């Protein structure tokens, strides 16, 4: 029998719990402590609104934006902090390896040739290396919901934060159906279209939706598995590609660099190179998700720097090395590289290279990897869009219902709306397929460039405000390796890419043979994200009359999880000073 003291303690717990039942739930961390409740009751209670959740009043009326309340809402978001270091590392390494690399690189090779492919991906990779380090520095200091869109609001202009938040959410909302269709095309490689693609659309939507309903831990575990498989496949292709290139294939033919001589290293000259930049940007999209996950990391100060540093290896090994081999093994004149759709797995230069070598089994295995890769990016699409929409709602920049976060830390309405965008994949079976997906790609093509440029600009302004407030770099738990110079390089390069894409959209390859209507359509397909971002920015700025945030007015306190760690950081730096040269070299990159 319980004692009188135990009964009183239980009564007190019951009165304090939000449901009136004995402290069955810790709403902050999404952990059930249920006693006496069945499994289904616990699941049902998990979908209820977190009592600690609140939606900010960032934009409560015309000419009225409360930046302080908005910053507090993103800092105190009840998202579950369950991502571990291994989750963040795999999100950083394999989070964006999908159709952009495996399939989209085929059309890029056909457009620009192997040299353009390598140069464009290398330049975007360098720019992204600088960008992700800038993001990592801010995300370790401010692991808030919404990450880079919130930084644009706080360090640039609330109107620009609004534009970048919706720009990023829309990017992932249209990427989801693209990835689902790519998965359907992959399956049809085996079924030969004997099963209607609409059936696969439903199956993939259910699978991706179910993974995200398991919460951030489910997303993290799924990405951990997906990324291991993708990384293994790319490493396997690199080994196989080297063997095939030196004559180790079934026919024993030495290939070397003959395709760089005939048909050649470049196609369509400088314009061909500029045209590859959008494909490269689309391929690298998703790398910034590691910063978005900081708000849901158990210990971002420890786990985020390691994940950020590993971007170097992903760019070098998984993109540059594999695409170098693709350019050596496949001539850009191969008709299969164009494909019937932007999501056509038969247009994958990886599959074409293996088929050219006369190997019959491996293409099927690699297509299975492509299937998992596109599902992985689809999974990331729901995560990226839902967290951004919820953060926008918390800042008062999106409908309030999108800010609903349940007791398991899931932004349910945002997840459901994003997942519902997957039904756009039904266009794959219609006669309007080409037009529909051309416009969806147009919406997402340049979005990453705007996002990355905003991250670099926000970091530049953050550093200025940090110095102006009397802080030193020694107070930062993680410092961007390329530093302020890297952020300027990243920002300027993003602007140059936007200019190059404006030119290739205004005067595309084959411009002389096009009618005026066709030229206009091509420009919008390439540059649609630009007018949309500007419209969002100007409209919000005019309506709410926001101002560019002055550095002396920037909030450098709200959302900082570790405020007084200067002594701890000094001890850690003293310890690192005692490391051997080999360990310092390893830790610099990992």
Higher-scoring residue by pLDDT: 114, 509: 114
Instruction: Let me know if 164 is exposed, middle or buried by CB neighbors in 10 A (0-12, 13-18, 19+).
Output: buried
Cα separation, 434 vs 440, whole angstroms? 10
Higher-scoring residue by pLDDT: 570, 507: 507
Whether the Cβ atoms of residue 525 and residue 439 lie closer than 8 Å to each other: yes
Single pTM value for the model: 0.86
Cα separation, 182 vs 16, whole angstroms? 50
Pick the closest to residue 546 from 183, 121, 162 (CA basis): 162
Topology annotation, domain 59-589: Amino acid/polyamine transporter I (1.20.1740)
Q: pLDDT tens, 161-178?
A: 999 999 999 989 988 988
Dihedral pair phi/psi, residue 357, rounded to 5°: -80, -5
pLDDT of residue 433: 64
pLDDT of residue 333: 93
pLDDT above 60 for 34? no
H-only helix segments in 82-196: 85-94, 99, 105-141, 147-155, 158-191
Q: pLDDT tens, 473-491?
A: 888 888 999 999 999 999 9
> What b/e readout covers 323-356, taking b as 16+ CB neighbours within 10 angstroms?
bbbbbbbbbbebebbebebbbbbbbbbbbbbbbb
pLDDT band, residue 110 (cuts 50/70/90)? very high
pLDDT above 70 for 11? no
pLDDT above 50 for 590? yes
pLDDT of residue 329: 94
pLDDT above 80 for 242? yes
Cα separation, 584 vs 590, whole angstroms? 10
Dihedral pair phi/psi, residue 406, rounded to 5°: -85, -175
Q: In the chain, where are the structural domains located?
A: 59-589
Cα separation, 340 vs 200, whole angstroms? 19
pLDDT of residue 341: 54
Q: What is the mean pLDDT of residues 528-548?
A: 90
pLDDT above 80 for 531? yes
pLDDT of residue 5: 42
Please give the full DSSP string across 470-502, using - where no structure is assigned. T--GGG-SS--SSHHHHHHHHHHHHHHHHHHHH
pLDDT above 80 for 114? yes
Q: pLDDT tens, 262-320?
A: 999 999 888 899 888 877 887 888 888 888 888 888 888 888 888 888 777 777 777 88
Q: pLDDT tens, 394-418?
A: 888 999 899 898 888 889 999 999 9
Report the chain's mean pLDDT, rounded to a whole number. 81
Pick the closest to residue 67 from 152, 180, 153 (CA basis): 153
Dihedral pair phi/psi, residue 60, rounded to 5°: -95, -5
pLDDT of residue 567: 63
- The residue to which tokens 């101002």 are assigned: 547
pLDDT of residue 342: 53
Q: What is the DSSP letter of 49?
A: B
Whether the Cβ atoms of residue 75 and residue 150 lie closer than 8 Å to each other: no
H or E, element range at 31:
strand 31-32
32 beta partners: 25
Beta strand 64-65 with 59-61 is antiparallel
Cα separation, 3 vs 371, whole angstroms? 59
| Count of beta carbons in the 10 Å neighbourhood of residue 580 | 8
Cα separation, 399 vs 492, whole angstroms? 34
For 445, the token pair is 């093509």
pLDDT of residue 412: 92
Q: pLDDT tens, 356-407?
A: 888 877 778 888 888 888 888 888 899 999 999 999 998 889 998 998 988 8
Instruction: Let me know if 83 is exposed, middle or buried by CB neighbors in 10 A (0-12, 13-18, 19+).
Output: buried
């Amino acid at each position: 029998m319980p004692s009188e003291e135990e009964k009183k303690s239980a009564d007190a717990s019951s009165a304090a719990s939000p449901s009136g039942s004995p402290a069955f739930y810790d709403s902050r961390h999404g952990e059930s402590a249920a006693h006496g409740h069945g499994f289904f009751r616990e699941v049902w209670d998990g979908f209820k609104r977190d009592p600690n959740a609140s939606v900010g009043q960032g934009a409560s009326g015309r000419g009225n934006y409360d930046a302080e309340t908005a910053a507090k809402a993103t800092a105190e978001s009840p998202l579950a902090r369950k991502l571990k270091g291994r989750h963040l590392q795999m999100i950083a390494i394999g989070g964006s390896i999908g159709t952009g690399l495996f399939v989209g690189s085929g059309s890029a090779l056909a457009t620009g040739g192997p040299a353009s492919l390598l140069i464009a991906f290398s330049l975007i990779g360098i720019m992204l290396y600088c960008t992700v380090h800038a993001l990592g520095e801010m995300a370790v200091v401010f692991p808030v919901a919404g990450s880079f869109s919130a930084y644009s609001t706080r360090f640039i202009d609330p109107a620009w934060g609004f534009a970048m938040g919706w720009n990023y959410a829309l990017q992932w909302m249209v990427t989801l159906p693209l990835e689902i269709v790519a998965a359907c095309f992959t399956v049809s490689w085996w079924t030969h279209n004997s099963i209607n693609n609409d059936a696969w659309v439903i199956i993939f939507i259910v699978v991706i939706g179910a993974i995200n309903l398991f919460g951030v831990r489910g997303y993290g575990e799924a990405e951990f598995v997906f990324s291991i498989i993708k990384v293994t496949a790319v490493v396997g292709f690199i080994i196989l590609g080297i063997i095939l290139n030196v004559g180790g294939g079934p026919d024993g033919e030495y290939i070397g660099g003959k395709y760089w001589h005939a048909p050649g290293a470049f196609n369509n000259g400088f314009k061909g190179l500029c045209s590859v930049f959008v494909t490269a940007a689309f391929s690298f999209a998703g790398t910034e998700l590691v910063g978005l996950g900081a708000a849901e990391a158990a210990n971002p100060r420890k786990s985020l720097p390691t994940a950020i540093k590993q971007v170097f290896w992903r760019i070098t090994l998984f993109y540059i090395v594999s695409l170098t081999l693709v350019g050596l093994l496949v001539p850009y004149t191969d008709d299969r590289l164009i494909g019937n759709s932007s999501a056509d797995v038969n247009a994958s230069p990886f599959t074409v290279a293996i088929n050219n070598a006369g190997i019959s089994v491996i293409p099927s295995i690699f297509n299975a990897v492509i299937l998992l890769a596109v599902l992985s990016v689809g999974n990331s699409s729901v995560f990226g869009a839902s967290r951004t929409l919820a953060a926008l709602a918390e800042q008062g920049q999106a409908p309030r219902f999108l800010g609903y976060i349940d007791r398991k830390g899931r932004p349910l309405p945002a997840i459901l709306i994003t997942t519902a965008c997957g039904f756009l994949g039904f266009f794959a079976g219609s006669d309007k397929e080409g037009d529909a997906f051309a416009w969806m790609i147009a919406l997402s093509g340049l979005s990453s460039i705007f996002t990355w440029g905003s991250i670099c600009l926000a970091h530049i302004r953050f550093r200025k405000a940090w110095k102006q407030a009397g802080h030193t770099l020694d107070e930062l738990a993680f410092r961007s390796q390329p530093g302020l110079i890297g952020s300027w390089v990243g920002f300027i390069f993003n602007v140059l890419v936007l200019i190059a894409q404006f030119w290739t959209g205004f005067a595309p390859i084959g411009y002389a043979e096009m009618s005026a209507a066709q030229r206009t359509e091509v420009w919008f397909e390439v540059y649609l994200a630009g007018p949309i971002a500007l419209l969002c920015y100007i409209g919000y700025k005019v309506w709410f009359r926001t101002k560019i945030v002055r550095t002396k007015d920037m909030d450098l306190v709200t959302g900082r999880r570790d405020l007084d760690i200067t002594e701890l950081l000094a001890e850690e730096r003293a310890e690192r000073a005692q490391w051997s040269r080999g360990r310092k070299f390893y830790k610099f990159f990992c």
